[in-house]
Amino acid sequence: MNAAILAAVGASAGFGTATLLQSLGARRSAGGLRAFLHPLVLGGLALDGASSLLSLIAQARLPLFVVQTIIAAAVVVVVLAAPAVLHAERRARDVGAACVTVACLAVLAGASGPEHPARSDALLPALLAGAAALAVVSAALYRRGPAWSMAVCSGLGYAGAAVGVRAARLTGPLWSVVWQPAAAVIAVCGAVGILAYLRALESGSAGMVAAAGSVIEVAVPGLIGVLVLDDRARPGWGPAAGIACLVALAACVVLAFSPAATMTDVMETPATPGPSGADPGA
C-alpha cells in the first residue's frame, strides 16, 4: 500500500475519530458555543485539521474518485465505534454495510496503483468562478434556504476544494504555495463546506446531510477527474474500481442513516461539530 493510500485512509479514520471526540466532548460540556471550549471538542477540531492535510496529500497523488470514496468512509469509524463511545444503537445492517465498504476500499486501493495524476492550470478560471458563485449562492440561502440546499452547498464546497488541489502548485517556497489562485479556491470552498454543513444540521437530519454530502463529494470530483483530468485505474481494473466506488458509496449512505451516526449530532442546537462525520474534506 503506497503512501498516498495510507494518507487517504489516515484522513478517513481521523475525520471519523474527530466526530466521536467532538460528540463526546459536546455531551460533557455546558452546551451551545461553550461546547467548543471543551478539550475533547478542541482535540477533535485539531484532528480534523490534521486529517485535512492528509487528504490534500492523497488528492494530489491519487485519482479523485479513489480518495473521495475512502474519505467518505469516515462514517464507518463513527458507526462501529459509536456504541462503545456514545452508547448508541448499532444495527446488523450497519455492520454489514461497514464490511462491504471496507472490502470496496481494498479493491480501490488495489486499483489505484502508482499514480501521478495530471495537474491542470486550465481548470483555474472555472474553479475561481465556481467558488465565487458557490459562496454567493450559499450566502443567499443561509438564512432561509431549506436544509437540503445547504447540504448540497456543503458537498459542492468540499468537492471544489478537492478539485482545487489538482490545480494547485504544491512545490516551491511556502509563500508561493499559499499565495496562488488555487489556494483561494481551496480556502473558499472549504469554508463554504464547513459553514453550509453546520447550517444544514440546524434544521435537517444528520443522515440526510451526511448522505447528500457523501454522494456529492464522491461523484462530482470523481467525474471531473475522469472526464477532465484523465484519472484512471490500473490497466484492467477500471470496471472493478467503478463498481467498488458505487457500492462503497451506497453502503456509506446506508451508514449515514444509522442510529449510531445520528447520535453524533449532539451540537446541533445552537452549534454542531465539524464536517468529519459527513467528509470531508468533506
Question: One digit per residue, pLDDT tens: the chain, 282 residues?
Answer: 588 899 999 999 999 898 888 778 877 776 556 667 788 888 988 998 899 899 988 988 889 999 999 998 988 988 888 888 878 788 889 999 999 999 999 999 888 866 666 777 788 999 999 999 999 999 999 988 998 999 999 999 999 999 998 888 877 777 777 888 889 999 999 999 888 887 887 777 777 888 888 899 899 999 999 888 888 888 889 999 999 999 999 999 998 888 877 766 544 433 333 444 444 444
Give the list of residues 6+ apart from residue 203 with CB closer than 8 angstroms, or none: 146, 147
How much is the pLDDT for 113?
Answer: 67
Cα gap 94→102, rounded to integer Å: 12
How much is the pLDDT for 207?
Answer: 75
Q: What is the pTM of this model?
A: 0.80
Burial pattern 248-281, b for ≥16 Cβ within 10 A else e, equals bbbbbbbbbbbebbbbbbbbbeebbbbbbbbbbb
Region class of 269: left (phi > 0), else alpha (psi between -120 and 50), else beta = beta
Contact between 170 and 4 under an 8 Å Cβ cutoff? The reply is: no
How much is the pLDDT for 276?
Answer: 43
Q: What angle do CA 170, 138, 199 make, to 5 degrees?
A: 100
